[in-house]
A = this chain, B = another copy of it.
Amino acid sequence: MLSEEKYGLLENELPFLGLANNDMKQKIIQHGSLAKVPKGTVIFDEGSECNTLAVIITGKIRVYKLGESGKEITIYRIYEGESCILTISAILSNLTFPATAVAEEETEALILPADVFKELVNKDEAWRNYTFGLVNKRLANIITVVETVAFKRMDERIAEFLLKKSEAEPDGINITHQKIADELGTHREVISRILKEFEKLELIKLSRNRIEIINRNELLSKVKHIA
């Protein structure tokens, strides 16, 4: 149960809530709740039943697949204002969650019971648009993952990863090799080896927990497969 004021505040963070019709607003106020989970919390595990849907207000969630030997691959991330289509899919078809979801930061979310969500999708166009919008984004994500894993070489993928990361951390990326491996679905050794090569080529500079890009252009050319 939320308060009217809370709902008002949420509308700032989740603009599509403002588009919902009044009946639905009341539903959300009546049956919704807020939850805050600390960094590292496993939200869903492979095979979990989904009887609630979370809409992220602040924070970030990583959804990944676990392979045998502890290998992982990230499928996508859920950011503010989004929610998890795998959960939606699981709810709407009464299946279990086919992956693992973990909070990468402290994450705050609006929690809705599954049947409330079902009703929202059926009766409220704003929610439908929201839901289909998410489906689109995720599908695109996942297709990209398939393409990448199936066709691209690891050095290219690592270069791409570093360049993307460097946008958020322009003066040095703080990350372990293991994290990169989990991201890309390979082993730490492979990452270490290729990073070492990059260092020999003077594209990057390595230290513990840290990677500095020193030749951005050359790294870019790896991605574009020119070199």
Interface residue from B68, B89, B122, B151 paired with A139 (Cβ < 8 Å): B89
Rank and list the top 6 A-B pairs by shortest CB-CB distance, nearest first.
A67-B151, A93-B136, A150-B185, A73-B150, A89-B136, A92-B132
A146 at the interface (CB under 8 A from B): yes
For chain A, residues 130 to 149, give those with C-beta under 8 angstroms from any C-beta of chain B.
132-133, 135-136, 138-140, 142-143, 145-147, 149
A-B contact pairs, 5 of them (CB 8 A): A65-B143, A65-B151, A71-B151, A75-B146, A142-B142
- Say whether chain A's binding surface is mostly helix, strand, loop, or mixed: helix
The smallest C-beta distance from A165 to any residue of chain B, in angstroms, reads 20
A163 at the interface (CB under 8 A from B): no
Rounded to whole angstroms, the CA-CA distance of A125 and B145 in the bound complex is 32
The smallest C-beta distance from A23 to any residue of chain B, in angstroms, reads 17
